[in-house]
Structure 1
Amino acid sequence: MANSQTQFCARVAEVLANGGHDVTMLFVTHLSDFKTDVKIPKGVKSYHLDAFIEGITKESIEKEQSAMIFKDTGLKDMPAMMAMFGRFGKMLQEGCRAVIRNKEFMKWLENEKFDVAYAYIYSTCPIGLIHTAKIPSWVWLNSGPLMDYVAETTGVPIIPSYVPPVMMESHDVMGFVFRTKSFIGHFLMTLFHRKMSSDAETQIFREELNDPSFPHTMDIGAKCPLIIVNSNELYDLPRPTLAKVVNIGGLGVGFDSAKPLTGEFKTISETGKGMIVFSFGSVAAAHEMPLEWKNAILDAFSSLPDYQFVMRYLGTDLNDRLPKNVHLSKWLPQKDLLLHNKTKAFISHGGYNSMQEAISAGVPLVTIALFGDQPKNAQIAKKHGFAVNIQKGTISKETIVEALKEVLENDSYKQKVSRLSAMVRVQPMKPAERLLKWSEFLAEFKTLDNLEPAGQKLNFFQYHSLDVIGFLFTVIFLVFYIFYRILRALVRCCCCRKSHEKKKTE
Structure 2
Amino acid sequence: MRWILLLLLSFVSSLSSLRILVISPTVARSHVVFMGSLADSLAEKGHTVHTIMIEVEKTDTNGTTKSDKVVFIPSTRPRSELHDLLKEDPFDESLEMLNIGVLLAIRQSLRIYAEDTVTQYDRFLKPLESPEGYDVGISENLGSLPLFLYRRLSVRRYVLASAIGLSSIMAEAMGVPMPPSYVPNPLSSRVSTTEMSIVDRARYLIDYIFAPPIYKFICKAQLDYLRQFDPDLLDVMDAKAGSKFVAVNFPLLLDHLRPYTRHVIHVGGITLPREQKEESIDKDLSSVIDRSGKGIVVISFGSLAETENLSDIHLKTFLDAFSKFPDYTFIWKFDVHKEKHVELFAGYGNVHAVRWLPQHSLLKHNKTLAFVTHCGANSVIEAASIGVPLVALPLFADQHYNGAAMLKKGTAVLLRKSNLSEAAIVEALTKVLLDERFRLNALHLSSALAKYPEDPRDRFVAMVEFVAEYGDTLDRPLRLSPLIFFNIDVILVFLLLPLILIFVLRKYCRHRMSFRMRISIFVHFLLGLDLVDALITCNRAAGNVTLPSNECTGDVCLIRKDNGAVPFYYVSSDCGEGAYFSHYPDGCYGKTSFLCVCR
Cα deviation code 1:248-278 (max 9, x no counterpart): 1011324732346341222122221111001
2:331 and 2:184 map into 1 onto residues whose CA distance is: 34
Which deviates further from its counterpart, 387-396 or 151-160?
A: 387-396
Aligned-residue offset at 1:182: 0.9
1:491 and 1:64 map into 2 onto residues whose CA distance is: 71
Contact 2:139 2:146 in 1 (8 A): yes
Query: Within the alignment, does 1:321 sit opposite 2:347 as a pair?
Result: no
Partner of 1:309: 330
Partner of 2:115: 97
Cα deviation code 1:23-60 (max 9, x no counterpart): 111011256xx34434540354201123423xx416x6
Query: Within the alignment, does 1:293 sit opposite 2:314 as a pair?
Result: yes
What are the ranges of 5 or more consecutive residues in structure 1 without an aligned counterpart?
502-506
2:523 and 2:412 map into 1 onto residues whose CA distance is: 60
Cα deviation code 1:456-486 (max 9, x no counterpart): 2x43322222233333445566786494674
Amino acid at match of 1:495: N
Cα deviation code 1:359-411 (max 9, x no counterpart): 01110111222121222222111111111112213323222111111100001
2:66 to 15, 25, 42: 42
2:537 and 2:350 map into 1 onto residues whose CA distance is: 90
Partner of 1:405: 430
Partner of 2:483: 461
Question: How many pairs are equivalent?
Answer: 488
Cα deviation code 1:231-260 (max 9, x no counterpart): 111001121111121111011324732346
2:250 to 231, 234, 259: 231
Amino acid at match of 2:32: T
1:362 to 387, 391, 397: 387
Contact 2:89 2:311 in 1 (8 A): no
Are the structure 2 counterparts of residues 208 and 97 from structure 1 closer, same or farther at C-alpha, using a change threshold of 3 Å? farther
Aligned-residue offset at 1:328: 0.9
Aligned-residue offset at 1:184: 0.7
Are the structure 2 counterparts of residues 30 and 306 from structure 1 closer, same or farther at C-alpha, using a change threshold of 3 Å? closer
User: More helix per residue: 1 or 2?
Assistant: 1
CA RMSD of aligned residues (A): 2.8
Q: How is 1:73-472 mapped onto 2 (pairs within 5 angstroms)?
A: 73=94, 81-104=99-122, 105=124, 107-111=126-130, 113-168=133-188, 169-171=190-192, 173-197=195-219, 199-209=220-230, 211=231, 213-254=232-273, 256-259=276-279, 261-271=281-291, 272-316=293-337, 317-322=340-345, 323-450=348-475, 452-453=476-477, 455-456=478-479, 458-472=480-494
2:109 and 2:61 map into 1 onto residues whose CA distance is: 22
Aligned-residue offset at 1:124: 3.0
Contact 1:201 1:217 in 2 (8 A): no
Q: Secondary structure at the match of 1:24?
A: strand
Sequence identity (%): 27
Cα deviation code 1:305-349 (max 9, x no counterpart): 111111111124322232221111111000000011110000111
1:372 and 1:43 map into 2 onto residues whose CA distance is: 29
Cα deviation code 1:108-165 (max 9, x no counterpart): 4442611111111243311232134331111101112112111101111111111111
Contact 2:29 2:59 in 1 (8 A): no
2:417 and 2:174 map into 1 onto residues whose CA distance is: 35
Q: Secondary structure at the match of 1:268?
A: helix
1:26 to 52, 56, 66: 52
Q: Secondary structure at the match of 2:93?
A: coil
How high is the TM-score relative to the length of structure 2?
A: 0.75
2:40 to 14, 30, 46: 14
1:103 and 1:265 map into 2 onto residues whose CA distance is: 45
Amino acid at match of 1:282: S
Aligned-residue offset at 1:420: 1.0
Aligned-residue offset at 1:214: 3.2
2:400 and 2:59 map into 1 onto residues whose CA distance is: 28
1:221 and 1:62 map into 2 onto residues whose CA distance is: 25
How high is the TM-score relative to the length of structure 1?
A: 0.89
2:64 and 2:244 map into 1 onto residues whose CA distance is: 27
Contact 1:101 1:208 in 2 (8 A): no
RCO higher in 1 or 2 (8 Å CA, sep ≥ 6)? Answer: 1
What are the ranges of 5 or more consecutive residues in structure 2 without an aligned counterpart?
1-26, 502-520, 526-530, 553-599
Larger Rg: 2
Amino acid at match of 2:149: L
2:360 and 2:351 map into 1 onto residues whose CA distance is: 19
Which deviates further from its counterpart, 130-139 or 465-474?
A: 465-474
Cα deviation code 1:415-448 (max 9, x no counterpart): 1111111111111111111111111111222434
